[in-house]
Structure 1
Amino acid sequence: MTARTTQAIRHLTAGFTEMGMAVSEQIYQATTAFARHDPDRARQVIEADGAINETELRLARRSLRVLALQQPQASAFRAVMTVVKASVDLEQIGDNAVAIARETLLLPTATGLPSVAELLGQMTLAIQTMLEQGLDAYLRQEPDLARQVAESDLTIDRDFVRLRHHLIRELGADPKLAATITSYLVVARLLEHIGDHVVNVTEWVVYGATGQLVELNPGKLDRRRVTG
């Protein structure tokens, strides 16, 4: 690997990591806005998404330039492709955070569901931890850690199932809360989708480190793994 290619990959790595941390913050701010019914915070999340989108485009342009002009081989090629592919998932995580923020603005009332909000908070913390560990696996080029992070997504799925059951019970107790409960269910589903995107990121981490294209959590659709 030439010194020029090494430097280019170093810049891509730094940009990708910064994007990942920015997306993690967006997740936190969006779910906090929803839990606190804070429209101002929600609008800030929506406004901040433009910078994340621009970062994804900038990383894509830089990556394509490296591929075209320097024609990296082997591990260098994989490092560039990991950024190209995984940054798309980070951008989509940001889009999901925006969707959570928009759901805050659509809440019919400021009526909260404290017990459900607590479960959402637990899901949010678990997802942030998952994403940050995925970024750590990326920086350290540790495929085994990436696989462990992907496995933790099954916990997120179980949390979603538990939260959904809780919401159904809340609806049975007070049908007037139907609109609010629907919003909580939408947000929970968006968080579950974010977990799926983090798994995609870890799959690209494995590729970057080993050259293997893998599908992690292939048994995820087995309900026994999610509900058991």
Structure 2
Amino acid sequence: MGMMVSNAVHKSVRAYINHDKKIAQEVIDYDVDINDMEVKLEKKSFEMIALQQPVTTDLRMIITVMKASSDLERMADHAVSIAKSTIRLKGETRIPEIEKEISDMSDYVKKMVDNVLIAYVKTDQKDARLIAKMDARVNEYFESIYSHSIKAMQANPETVISGTDYLHVATYLERIGDYVTNICEWIVYLATALFDLEQQLKEKYGLLEVHVVFSPETNSQVITEYLASYAAGYLEETIKNGDILGVSWGTTVYEIARKLNSQERAERRNCLKRRD
């Protein structure tokens, strides 16, 4: 399935750059096979969970298959969106320099997709972390294409339609890079049974210190993928209140501790003493 998606991404951008509507249509038609593959993998995974009650490594493997196949299917959807952009084009003014950037961005994203598939097969968490860092370069490509497209449209109104399409295609490629990063996170989970959420929570909520404790192996009935995927969303409101927050579903625990300024605490205690 991964190779099917990698091929779809590559062909969709080649079709866009070369104005090849035939290949673009092939990408669109091919998406049905990718969707079918994702459904089959998901169905098989649920059957194994229900009938075999896997634990520890086996459970993590099944969860990772489900999540990775879902991310791959979404990548294919973005490839289809690029292919549809090719079919929509009807001889509008093109900008070769920006198309070259899009081509380079596509090659880089395809390299990420191919590398993450190898890391997944090897369960190589070190490579997964390195691949995830490659997403920063994808973001740089996007920012450059965005800037150049806006300037081109401002300078020449005839490029508005093609410039808008460039922005869409760059956005689709940037999102594919994000999905590659998601798969990297699941490879780390498969190898270690841990999610590295500390930095993400620090940045999102402005916390000074975060400790995440995640133990998915103590109860085979806990479907840990949902907890892992949506925990941050569930905590978004409650994390702002209190110094320590513990949330538990079954035997899976996320503990988030936030340090408050010690001086502020001391002032509060002194204030209470004065009131007494």
CA distance in 2, matches of 1:52, 1:213: 28
More relative contact order, 1 or 2 (CA 8 Å, 6+ apart): 1
2:87 and 2:124 map into 1 onto residues whose CA distance is: 40
Structure 1 residue aligned with 2:178: 196
Query: SS at the partner of 2:102?
Result: helix
Q: Which residue does 2:99 correspond to in 1? A: 117
User: CA separation in 2, counterparts of 1:177 and 1:120?
Assistant: 16
Match of 2:255 in 1: none
Structure 1 residue 171: Cα displacement: 1.5
CA RMSD, Structure 1 to Structure 2 (Å): 1.8
Distance across 2 between alignment mates of 1:142 and 1:132: 14
Look up the match of 1:39.
21
Identity %: 35
List per-residue Cα deviations over 1:136-174 (Å, max 9, x = no partner): 111111111111111110110011001111112222331
1:185 to 150, 167, 170: 167
- CA distance in 2 between counterparts of 1:216 and 1:29 reads 38
Q: In structure 1, what is the equivalent of residue 188 of structure 2?
A: 206
Count of matched residue positions in the alignment of Structure 1 and Structure 2: 203
Q: Deviation at 1:63?
A: 1.1
* CA shift digits 1:57-81 (9 cap, x unpaired): 0011111111122222101110111
| SS of the residue 2:195 aligns to | coil
Q: Give the corresponding residue for 2:110.
A: 128
Greater strand content: 2
User: CA–CA distance in 1 between the matches of 2:123 and 2:174?
Assistant: 25
CA 1:79–1:44 in structure 2 vs 1: closer, same or farther (change >3 Å)?
same
**Normalised by the size of structure 2, how large is the TM-score?**
0.70
Shift of 1:111: 3.6
Give 5+ residue unaligned stretches, structure 1. Answer: 1-18, 222-228
8 Å contact kept, 2:92–2:161? no
1:166 corresponds, among 134, 137, 148, to 148
- Whether the 8 Å contact between 1:147 and 1:216 is mirrored in structure 2 is no
8 Å Cα contact 1:151/1:217 also seen in 2: no
Cα offsets for 1:24-65 (capped at 9, x unmatched): 000011001111111111111000000000000001111111
Matches within 5 A, 1:5-154: 19-109=1-91, 111-154=93-136
Shift of 1:217: 8.1
How far 1:110 sits from its partner (Å)? 5.1
Deviating beyond 4 angstroms after TM superposition, the runs of 4 or more aligned structure 1 residues are none
C-alpha distance in structure 1 between counterparts of 2:39 and 2:88, whole Å: 30
How far apart, in 1, do the equivalents of 2:68 and 2:195 lie? 13
Greater helix share, 1 or 2? Answer: 1
Distance 1:212 1:37 in 2: 45
Contact 1:30 1:42 in 2 (8 A): yes
Greater CA radius of gyration, 1 or 2? Answer: 2
